[in-house]
Structure 1
Amino acid sequence: MSELMTPALAGAVAGLGVAMPMGAMSLLLLQEAMRHRRTAMAAAAGIAVVDLGYAALATALGPWVASHVSPVEAWVRLASAAILLTIAARGLSSSAQPAPSAPPPPSAPPALEARGPGRSPDSGAAPGPGTRTGTRPAARAFARYVGLTALNPTTALYFAALTTAQGATLGSGPAGAAFLLGVGAASLLWQQTLVVLGSLAGTRISDTARVWTFRLGYGLVAAYALKIAFPLPSLG
């Protein structure tokens, strides 16, 4: 078990690195949590599933790529580190800019709109079809957030660079599975944390808090880049 702890922790750091910076998806998730916590939890799971899916695809292909470029493995690691540092630098530079505007939230179901502002979702209006258990709204939220998150190419590039550079260490099945478990668990934990914050405090996240999520998240990306860059390739 101890030999699997390293890739699991590496996956957790990678998952937090891609999940923590608060962009438009995070703002959408906070808004969703303000309206309905159950659907927000499903939306958070959708975001984490995409992170896990991209990580799984990259983990499957990364070792194969690494095995075919073994003569220049150190240069591949350096190139991957450069990509990750570029992602981190762009993210950190954008952290000082105004918060991104989230896409307009989906229209509330008629039953919710009829209750009027400031009234509780459970204030006595008759539930519509599928709302008794919340299964259908939750499923729609899950699918919607899967689609929105999958449109972000940076996530795919991030995991591709990271796993290609670590092809040798993720080559075994158990190590790769432990890495993916760390990615999925860390991403899901962070997204569900946002749901709790959104249900408690709404979207009133201060600019300072937003900036620090960028700094922490992209700081992890930069640290990971430096870790995989060394030892540097020999020029001899």
Structure 2
Amino acid sequence: MTELLTPALAGTVAGLGVAMPMGAMSVLLLQEAMRDRRTAAAAAAGIAAVDLGYAALATALGPWVASHVTPVEAWIRLAAAAILLAIAAHGLRGAAQDPGPPGPGAVPAAAGAAAGADHGHDGVGGGSPPGRGGDGASGGGGGGGGRARTFARYVGLTAVNPTTALYFAALTTAQAATLHTAASAAAFLTGVAAASLLWQQTLVAVGALAGRKVPARVRVWTFRLGYGLVAAYAVKVALPLP
């Protein structure tokens, strides 16, 4: 049991380490939750699924991932920055055009439109700022199908960030001595998945609470600020240029 507890704890720390920094995806997830909590929960699961996928790939092929992603990392970062800028521009344009309560699905539409160019995800809805958030009683996100599309969008948007792959590649390469068996690797991956999903769902709960408590006008400004942060993060991702 002790030989499994150590990699499980290491995976938990690794999962929190990659999930907790408040980047662009955290901003989008919070805004998603301000409209519809169930759809946001699907988005959170998509983000955590990518963390788990990269961790699994790195656990199996850590040195190979690091050596093959590093040479093209700058170009991948540039593509990711372009997608983030498209999301920010779409969201800011929607916030400027429609300051009133919108229908559900605003951020996923922007995310889907941006990701669709490179990942084949389709967008639905408009690009306006959030209306009344909450627990999904309004039916935001189009039910199960809408949540599945949201899950797919957030998988695509999260997967374009090569930093996560390099992060797990470095960790698993450094801990190769403790991840030498299938059981220890599975324990590590379980810790990663649980920690990442728990953190993302915590953001969903915070966003859903804010959606119920924050006045509509304030929520509009949080969208404008949030998309401004997404644009700034895109610039940060793109530098240094290849």
Superposed, 1:186-225 pairs within 5 Å as: 186-202=195-211
Task: Let me know the Cα RMSD of the aligned residues.
Answer: 3.6
Q: Which residue of 140, 151, 157 corresponds with 2:149?
A: 140
Partners of 2:133 and 2:19 in 1: CA distance: 32
CA distance 1:28–1:119, shift in 2 (3 Å): closer
Q: What does residue 169 of structure 1 align with?
A: 178
Partners of 2:36 and 2:207 in 1: CA distance: 10
What SS class does the counterpart of residue 18 from structure 1 fall into? helix
Structure number with higher relative contact order (C-alpha < 8 Å, ≥ 6 residues apart): 1
CA distance 1:6–1:193, shift in 2 (3 Å): same
Aligned residue identity for 1:52: L
Contact 2:35 2:133 in 1 (8 A): no
Q: What does residue 55 of structure 1 align with?
A: 55
What SS class does the counterpart of residue 106 from structure 1 fall into? helix
Contact 2:33 2:39 in 1 (8 A): yes
Cα-to-partner distance string for 1:60-118 (whole Å, 9 max, x where unaligned)? 013x77xxxxxxxxxxxxxxxxx9xxxxxxxxxxxxxxxx997332349669x9xx955
Q: In the alignment, does 2:43 pair up with 1:43? A: yes
Partners of 1:193 and 1:28 in 2: CA distance: 14
Identity %: 68
Taking structure 1 as the reference length, the TM-score comes to: 0.61
Contact 1:24 1:102 in 2 (8 A): no
Aligned residue identity for 2:16: L
Aligned residue identity for 1:2: T
Q: Which residue of 106, 109, 114 corresponds with 2:108?
A: 106
Superposed displacement of residue 165, structure 1: 1.1
Superposed displacement of residue 167, structure 1: 1.1
Superposed displacement of residue 168, structure 1: 1.7
Cα-to-partner distance string for 1:117-149 (whole Å, 9 max, x where unaligned)? 5598757xxx79x93xx1011001100000000
Q: What does residue 24 of structure 1 align with?
A: 24
What runs of 5+ residues in structure 1 fail to find an aligned partner? 66-82, 84-99, 205-236
Higher helix share: 2
Q: Based on CA coordinates, which of the two structures has the bigger radius of gyration?
A: 1
Q: What does residue 155 of structure 1 align with?
A: 164
Contact 1:4 1:175 in 2 (8 A): yes
Contact 1:27 1:102 in 2 (8 A): no
Aligned residue identity for 1:163: T
CA distance 1:119–1:61, shift in 2 (3 Å): closer
Contact 2:8 2:188 in 1 (8 A): yes
Superposed displacement of residue 174, structure 1: 0.5
CA distance 1:201–1:61, shift in 2 (3 Å): same
Contact 2:12 2:188 in 1 (8 A): yes
What runs of 5+ residues in structure 2 fail to find an aligned partner? 65-69, 71-84, 92-106, 110-122, 212-218, 223-242
